[in-house]
Amino acid sequence: MEKYSGLSLVKHSFSHHERWERQWANPTPNKKYDIIIIGGGGHGLATAYYLAKNHGITNIAVLEKGYLGGGNTARNTTIVRSNYLWDESAALYEHGMKLWEGLSQELNYNVMFSQRGVYHTCHTLQDMRNNERLVHANRLQGIDNEMIDAAQLQKEIPTLDCSKDARYPILGASVQRRAGNARHDAVAWGYARAASALGVHLIQNCEVVDMIIDGSNTIRGVKTRQYGELMADRVGCVVAGNSGEMARMAGFQLPVESHPLQALVSEPIKPFLDTVVMSNHVHGYMSQSDKGDLVIGAGIDSWVGYGQRGSYPIVEHTIQAIVEMFPTVSRVRMNRQWGGIVDTTPDACPIIGSTPVKNLFFNCGWGTGGFKATPGSGHVFAETLAHGKPAPLAEPFSLERFVTGALVDEHGAAGVAH
C-alpha cells in the first residue's frame, strides 16, 4: 500500500482501479446532487452507504477536504461497546453494536471487529455502586453487562494488578463481553468501497468554504475551494472537530467545543492482553492490537484546541495510570502519540437532526464515543436525510434539547465515556 497521500491510499486498497478513478473523479460541471454529505470519515461514508442501500438514493456527493478516513477515523483507539447508562444513548449504541456484528459480511470487507470484551475496573465503593447501577440499567435495556469481583477479574486478566497493596486497589469490574474493538481506518475503507459500488460520488481534496443559503433560509448547496459551487436539495454535515466552523458558515451557533483527545501506541510486543481494560478512577485504558502494539487512550485536553500532535502532560498522566494497573509494561517503549479532534456537547451526547437552516442537517458532538457509533450513526443519519426529519433513534438528540433542557447526560455516567 502506498503512503497516506489522498486518493492513492484508498485506490490501491481495492480492485477495479479504472472504475474507482472514474467514480472518484472531479465533480461534473453544473451537476446538482440530491444530497451532499460534508465529511468523508467513517460516519459520513456510512451515511452515504445506507442512503444508497436502504433508501435508493445514489445521486450523492461526499466531500472530504483531505483523504477519506484521514480525520478522527484514523486517530481513535478502536473501542466498540454499547454499555451506556441512559435509555436513549444505550439504544443508539446498541443499534450500532448489532450492525458491527455483521459489518464485515455486510460490506464484504474485513473491518477486523473483535468481540474480546471491555472491562471497566472499580477502585472505590462509589465505583462499584456506579458500575452496578450501569449493569442493572443495561439488563433492563436488553444489553449484556455483568459485575465480577477482584478474584474473578484476576483470573480473567492475570497481568492486571489486583493486589490489595496496589496504589489504587481494584475491588471488581463490570464487563461487556460482546464489546471489543475494530480496525479504525478499515471501517472507512469498507464503507467507501461499498458506497462507491452503489454509485455514490466520493470527492477527496474538496474543502467546503461556505454555504449557499437563499432568502428563505434554505440551503441550496455549498461553495468549495477546489470546484466552486456544488448544488443539492439537502446537505448533511458530518465533520467531527470542525462542526462549529460549519455552523458559523450557516449563520448559527452550536453548543459544542472542540478538544484534542489524546492517544498513543507502544512498540510491538508479544501478545499478553486479549481484551480491553478501562479505568475511570485512574483514567486510562488499554488494549493490544493484532500487530502487538499496546493501544492506550487518555482523556481530552481541558482546553479548546485543534492540535493533533498530542499533549505530553496528559500522555504522561495516562502512562502513569496504565503502569499502576499493569506494572509489567513499565519498560515498554512508547512508539508514537497523537491527538484527535472531537466535538463535545454539555451532556456528552451527539447532535443528530435538523438545524435552523431548512434542509441542512448536522451529525456531530459525539465527543469520545464517535468511533463505536459509526454504523449506527450512519444508519440513523441516512434515514434522517432521506426523509427530511429525524429517525426515531435520533429524535432524543435534536438540537432543540439544549433549549428544552431534555438532555441525555452521559457525561461520566458510563465508565471512561470512550
- pTM for this model (two decimals): 0.92
C-beta separation of 64 from 192 below 8 A:
no
The 10s digit of each residue's pLDDT in 150-203 is: 999 999 999 999 999 998 999 999 999 999 999 989 999 999 999 999 999 999
C-beta separation of 86 from 79 below 8 A:
no
Domain 115-178+258-344 in the same topology as domain 7-75+184-255+347-404: no
Residue 180 DSSP SS3: strand
Q: pLDDT category, 78, cuts 50, 70, 90? A: very high
The 10s digit of each residue's pLDDT in 190-244 is: 999 999 999 999 999 999 999 999 999 999 999 999 999 999 999 999 999 899 9
142: left (phi over 0), alpha (psi -120 to 50) or beta: left
How many Å apart are CA 34 and CA 61, to the nearest integer?
A: 8
- Residue carrying the nine cell digits 432524543: 396
Burial 139-178 (b: 16+ CB within 10 A, else e): eebebbbebbebeebbeebeebbbeeeeebebbbbbbbeb
For residue 137, how many other CB atoms are within 10 A of its CB?
19
Q: Which CATH number fits domain 7-75+184-255+347-404: 3.50.50.60, 3.30.750.24, 3.30.565.10, 3.40.50.2300?
A: 3.50.50.60
For residue 394, pLDDT beyond 80? yes
Q: What is the DSSP string of 78-105?
A: -EE----SSHHHHHHHHHHHHHHHTHHH
Output 27 or 253, whichever has higher pLDDT. Answer: 253
How many Å apart are CA 185 and CA 289, to the nearest integer?
A: 14
The 10s digit of each residue's pLDDT in 337-376 is: 888 888 889 998 999 999 999 999 999 999 889 999 999 9
Residue 377 DSSP SS3: helix
| CA neighbor of 71 nearest in space, from 220, 240, 194 | 240
How many Å apart are CA 178 and CA 249, to the nearest integer?
A: 41
Using DSSP bridges, classify how beta strands 79-80 and 360-364 pair: parallel, antiparallel or unpaired.
Answer: unpaired
Q: What is the DSSP string of 199-210?
A: T-EEE-S--EEE
Q: pLDDT category, 27, cuts 50, 70, 90? A: confident
**pLDDT score, position 412:** 63
**Which residue type does 109 have?**
Y
Query: In the beta sheet, which residues pair with residue 236?
Result: 37, 361
Q: Where are the alpha helices (DSSP H) in 230-360?
A: 243-250, 312-325
| CA neighbor of 354 nearest in space, from 228, 155, 217 | 217
Domain borders along the chain are: 7-75+184-255+347-404, 115-178+258-344
Q: Which residues contact 284 (CB under 8 A, 6 or more apart)?
A: 278, 296, 297, 298, 318, 319, 321, 322, 325
**Considering only 143-147, 194-198, 288-292, 301-305, which range has the smallest mean pLDDT?**
301-305
**pLDDT score, position 96:** 98
The mean of the pLDDT values for the chain is 90
C-beta separation of 121 from 148 below 8 A:
no
| CA neighbor of 315 nearest in space, from 280, 264, 258, 278 | 264
Share of the chain above pLDDT 70, in %: 92
- Residue carrying the nine cell digits 450501569: 134
**pLDDT score, position 75:** 87
Q: pLDDT category, 21, cuts 50, 70, 90? A: very low
Q: Which residues contact 197 (CB under 8 A, 6 or more apart)?
A: none
Fold exhibited by the domain 115-178+258-344: D-Amino Acid Oxidase; Chain A, domain 2 (3.30.9)
**pLDDT score, position 300:** 80
